[in-house]
Amino acid sequence: MMIQPDWVQEAWDQTKAKVKRISRRIGDGFPHASVNGEYQLEQPSWWTAGFWPGILWLVYRDTKDNDLKEAAESCERQLDALLTDSEMVDHDIGFMWTLTSGARYKLLGSEDSKKRALLAANLLAARFNIQGNYIRAWNGEHMAGWAIIDCLMNLPLLYWASSVTGDPRYKHIAVKHADTVLQQFYRPDGSVAHIIVFDPETGEKLEVKGGQGYSPESAWSRGTAWAIYGMSLSYHYTGNQHYLDAAKRTAHFFLANLPEDQVPTWDFRTPQGKSSVRDSSAGACAACGLLLLADQVDGLEAEMYLKSGEKILHSLYMNYGAWDSEAEEGLILHGTSHFPEQKNVDVPLIYGDYYFVEGISILKGVKERFW
Residues serving a catalytic function are: 92, 150
How many residues are there in the chain? 371
- Give the 3-state secondary structure of residue 211: coil
317 CB contacts (<8 Å, ≥6 apart)? 7, 11, 14, 356, 360
Task: Quickly list DSSP for 145-202.
Answer: TEEEGGGGGGHHHHHHHHHHH--THHHHHHHHHHHHIIIIIB-TTS-B-SEEEE-TTT
DSSP 247: H
Contact 116, 97 (CB under 8 A): yes
Long-range pairs of 27-31 with CB within 8 A, sequence gap ≥ 24: 27/71, 27/74, 28/70, 28/71, 28/72, 28/74, 28/75, 28/78, 30/75, 30/78, 31/329, 31/350
Task: Quickly list DSSP for 67-136.
Answer: HHHHHHHHHHHHTGGGGG-GGG--TTHHHHHIIIIIHHHHHH--HHHHHHHHHHHHHHHTTEETTTTEE-
Distance separating alpha carbons of residues 81 and 95, to the nearest angstrom: 17
Query: In DSSP terms, which residues pair with 229 in a beta bridge?
Result: none
- Give the 3-state secondary structure of residue 21: helix
